A = this chain, B = another copy of it.
């Protein structure tokens, strides 16, 4: 279904692959026979603010890492539209399962952006409540969260929370590389067999660390879905409007009991894989430049400017706002407390363990012996 229709959209944009697009790289609104958005002016401005803010926060985190304040950082640079578009498409009752890069989705969920910084600073390993936040803990083992999301969605169905507008949907984020993991394919199977209310949201940013997409597949990733018995669709992941439209439709479809969808958000990782990575070893500058021209923020700005929805004052105000948010984030990161001595022994088991208790006690006594030596 989606394939034929999205082909038409692609025809208008020869250089682009076959995907759903509502906003071209140069800021032209185009229509799509199946997908549309009806944002108010205020909402459109809000999307712009989101995009700019998540990019700025991300840049701040990168800077913090460079200055030694974070151990590592996985930047979302270039993927802002994929994350804000899908993140804003979630309804309040929906549940998201991220990888380690979904800072933009987290922001759209209304979650304090400081939340995952402890992990990257090395003071904890996440430590938040996924249920209270409706946002899973960052998952580092590639693909594992797609099964968790599927199980959660099976539970939603078991609870009878599908079938209407109030139904709950689940979204599982993962990368192009992740599609090669057995777990992701098993998640497709369980989701399909149990008709779970889930959207598999693959950010195809063209790379798994250094490996280009061709190391994972020889056909477009969205096509993977049909053989598992549910629809797959590719969207321009640098187009926040199209990403929103497609994700919203898939989530609503799921909440109404119509089962899973795979969305391939076609985008690009503009930066390094993480701050530990050196992409110059494996990709050419010209490729990055090509994608620069498809920047997700620039195109929205052009569009909003051309329609008079925003002006320079607004742009300046948003920049200032984002900068301020970034400064606040920085300040708070610097005060994130290191783990207390011996804190590592906590929360190994809900019911505790005498063995851990004993080791904690020995640890305490051992360290007290040094204290004694010092005094």
Is A214's CB within 8 Å of the partner chain B?
yes
Partner of A226, one of B189, B192, B195, B223: B223
**Which residues in B have their C-beta under 8 angstroms from that of A215?**
193
Is A133's CB within 8 Å of the partner chain B?
no
Partner of A219, one of B183, B224, B227: B227
Shortest A231–chain B CB gap in Å is 11
CA distance A189 to B227 in the complex (A): 14
A227 close to B229 (CB less than 8 A): no
A159-201 residues with Cβ-Cβ distance < 8 A to B are 179-183, 185-186, 189, 192-193, 195
**Which residues in B have their C-beta under 8 angstroms from that of A224?**
227-228
Is A27's CB within 8 Å of the partner chain B?
no
Q: Of all chain B residues, which has the CB nearest A218?
A: B229
Partner of A232, one of B219, B225, B227: B227
Shortest A230–chain B CB gap in Å is 8
Shortest A67–chain B CB gap in Å is 40
Q: Of all chain B residues, which has the CB nearest A215?
A: B193
CA distance A193 to B177 in the complex (A): 13
B214 close to A223 (CB less than 8 A): no
Is A2's CB within 8 Å of the partner chain B?
no
CA distance A181 to B188 in the complex (A): 11
Is A276's CB within 8 Å of the partner chain B?
no
A7-22 Cβ-contact flags toward B at 8 Å (1 or 0): 0000000000000000
Q: Of all chain B residues, which has the CB nearest A226?
A: B227
Q: Of all chain B residues, which has the CB nearest A192?
A: B218
A228-252 Cβ-contact flags toward B at 8 Å (1 or 0): 1100100000000000000000000
Is A217's CB within 8 Å of the partner chain B?
yes
**Which residues in B have their C-beta under 8 angstroms from that of A181?**
182, 186
B182 close to A186 (CB less than 8 A): yes
A218 close to B193 (CB less than 8 A): yes
CA distance A186 to B180 in the complex (A): 6
Q: Of all chain B residues, which has the CB nearest A222?
A: B227
Q: Of all chain B residues, which has the CB nearest A180?
A: B189
Is A216's CB within 8 Å of the partner chain B?
yes
Shortest A156–chain B CB gap in Å is 19
Given contacts A226-B226, A227-B223, contact A217 B189 (CB under 8 A): yes
23 contacts between A and B (CB under 8 A): A180-B186, A180-B189, A181-B182, A181-B186, A182-B182, A182-B183, A182-B185, A182-B186, A185-B185, A185-B186, A192-B218, A193-B217, A217-B228, A218-B229, A219-B226, A219-B228, A219-B229, A223-B226, A224-B227, A226-B226, A227-B227, A227-B228, A227-B232
**Further contacts, 14 of them, CB under 8 A, given A181-B186, A182-B186, A219-B227:** A179-B189, A181-B182, A182-B185, A185-B185, A189-B216, A193-B216, A193-B218, A195-B218, A217-B228, A218-B229, A224-B228, A225-B227, A226-B226, A227-B228
